[in-house]
Chain A
């Protein structure tokens, strides 16, 4: 029966080729526009570490007090998105979580061993060894540095495959050394491709970028007086001059992540943080009962507005556009079906039930939807290409079509068009055979 209806639908669509083309074009353009923006939206809204996003938490402490607004719009607890060095050290020493790492973005000049080559700039992330196990970074060779290296402020580094290719021409470089700002660092491991998008652990800069090329122990970076290359926010109290003064200040420039595998761990860590803040108040550092907060990866992305407003606006606009396209297709379908009232009347008179007419017309709508969806896919590919050329490299990186997007496009097209076809189809089923036959 389905095949018969399909045949009927195709024949009917062929009979009024202009209306059919208009309908397919309308659905196609609508799907193309909405899928283009949806692809970018989904990439921004992506869960960068799905297997663990509910067990990893960003830590916040209200170290500026209630007189200072948060730089995060809408945060009523005056929490800053980063923490101070004082708190980074306090929380690291407490070791109250299953795994934990303070971290910050920095950078240096890398001087290649080959003297003919010029030094070049590298982005560095200073972190603790737990960073790698916590975020499950894939190692090609070697592995993270040890907890002892953290303790000893050791000159060790983990580098990315890309940097390994550039500096060592690929291969196993574990044990070799790289020169960062005139200091030699021993390579402990080489990371495979690892670029969680968005870069959830530090959303301050380059949210959709490639991340650091080199990782070194946090303690070593502090020893080397390596400044933050990310955001450094201070309230008016910037502390004493010099590096030591900066470390003792309430400036916030670090991220702090913990891994808490169970609900009990989460509850325990919350209690620990409240106690930590209360201790700071007792010691006289805070003159207020400080809020503390932990947010898991998904909550953190929402809190930090990882999806840009521009993209939300584009999604809104393009889906409204899709709605207009569907209304359009619906009007055309209505016109088409009512133009065929005579046919339908004959079929009804010959014994077709209302259900049969309904089914037949709905399949016709579905065929239009499918064709529109395919056209939409082609237009989406074109649209994404357009976006890549129009937008910055960082956002352009988010314009890649996944197989899931293709499914979404086709399902959306067929469903939406069938939905839009419901009313015209219902009208078709209402056709009174007697009237139509009389008019003939």
Chain B
């Protein structure tokens, strides 16, 4: 294929060629950054919480006033829930993963440490917590019932007798060593606390990657507290597979039988918590995908439109070339090569643009650096798009009869 005639023809149509190249460059820049964002959001929304989400049902319970016998009521509630058909275990807590609401603390190894070794989310629970959430204990042991004490609101500042931590936090605090048997210093509750167990995973309640909690999403601590609070607290139930829907019906009914002086907010499976908390992220991904599709369509139609015009403009020249012996394929190839040259230039500019847009977004939006793979995928996609879009006008050009050359202008 000869480039020179193509280039000299393009120079007569500079602006059209530049317009297509610039369109392709911007398309590429948007496309790969958008794909990158989509991939990040989807990956973030798929991070496991550590809980057996499909079989965990969460119920909000709030007492009217602060009944003095709250502990007895809570114990009665939990006993009733545990005896419900389909419920395997239950406990009461301050929060669960995928709620974006909770409490965190700085974790140190020694009291005299100036800055904390790690941040961690706090979950309160008794010896039923691990089973009710469906967590995997990978080292050490569960709480003993004598370790569990009452915590009356967040302002109750007794240090716990022991804690269970996540593998993520254990690796941060004691890299390469067994954390069980070690201890941490709780900067807030002012006490050295032994680590008795390690669970594989328990994500912090906050789901943002760039915002609060994003930097320590694998660091959680379970403290052996029975949480009593004027604040709504959560009852967490582990149900038999397939029983979630039944328990969602029966649990509030059972609790209201025990007492009506309460508010039961939502009762839902953890899978629903996940859907709700990631709704905006998923929405963003869908919107970006739709815009990308529209972008590709617009760019493609633009190429079809302009190339068709060029074909129409050059009908006579194409006829002459055909009359002089050029094959149909040669004509098709001409337009394809032309488009490849334009798309190539566009892709080159586009890659540079994509990287600079990303670098700017890294500083402006706490975004991550673009993976080079995405720019390459983007470049290939726009070049293929160009080839596909040019095919129809090129075929039309190839069908111009050589006889056209013999007719008068």
Contacts and interface: CB of A to CB of B under 8 A. Distances in A.
A121 B291 contact: no
B287 A387 contact: yes
A37 to B, nearest CB: 8
Interface stretch (A141-149, A346-354, A390-398): A390-398
Interface residues of A, number: 63
A26 B263 contact: no
Given A236-B187, A328-B298, A121 B26 contact: no
Given A109-B62, A392-B276, A395-B280, A327 B19 contact: yes
B265 interface: yes
A331 B66 contact: no
Contact of A391 (B62, B155, B283): B283
A331 B287 contact: no
Interface in A22-71: 22, 25-26, 29-30, 33, 71
Interface string A110-143: 0100000011110000000000000000000000
B80 interface: no
Contacts of B30: 317, 320-321, 324
**SS class of chain B's interface: helix, strand, loop or mixed?**
helix
A390 B230 contact: no
Contacts of A225: 230
A246 B152 CA distance: 13
B378 interface: no
Nearest to A241: B157
A95 interface: no
A310 interface: yes
Interface in B19-62: 19-20, 22-23, 26-27, 29-30, 33-34, 37, 62
A333 B232 CA distance: 63
Given A236-B187, A423-B15, A324 B301 contact: no
Nearest to B187: A236
Interface string A239-256: 011110110000000000
Contact of B298 (A29, A109, A232, A390): A29
Contacts of A75: none
A330 B18 CA distance: 11
B102 to A, nearest CB: 11
A372 to B, nearest CB: 12
Interface string B65-93: 11000000000000000000000000000
Given A22-B301, A317-B291, A323 B306 contact: no
A29 B300 CA distance: 14
B279 A313 contact: no
B294 interface: yes
Contacts of A439: 409
B274 interface: no
A309 B211 CA distance: 11
B192 interface: no
Contacts of A118: 256, 260, 263
A335 B263 contact: no
Nearest to B66: A181
Contact of B306 (A73, A234, A335, A391): A335
A183 B230 CA distance: 14
B230 A227 contact: yes
B294 A321 contact: yes
A312 interface: yes
B305 A182 contact: no
24 contacts: A26-B302, A33-B294, A109-B263, A119-B262, A226-B230, A227-B231, A229-B231, A232-B154, A234-B188, A238-B157, A240-B157, A241-B156, A309-B210, A310-B280, A320-B26, A320-B29, A324-B27, A324-B299, A335-B305, A336-B309, A339-B313, A390-B279, A395-B283, A439-B409
Nearest first, the 10 A-B pairs at minimum CB distance are A335-B309, A390-B283, A328-B302, A182-B65, A331-B19, A109-B64, A241-B157, A181-B65, A391-B283, A236-B187
Interface of B: 15-16, 19-20, 22-23, 26-27, 29-30, 33-34, 37, 62-66, 106, 153-158, 187-188, 210, 212, 229-232, 256, 260-263, 265, 276, 279-280, 282-284, 286-288, 290-291, 294-295, 298-299, 301-302, 305-306, 309-310, 312-313, 361, 364-366, 409
Given A109-B62, A324-B26, A390-B282, 5 more contacts: A118-B256, A232-B154, A242-B156, A314-B287, A320-B29
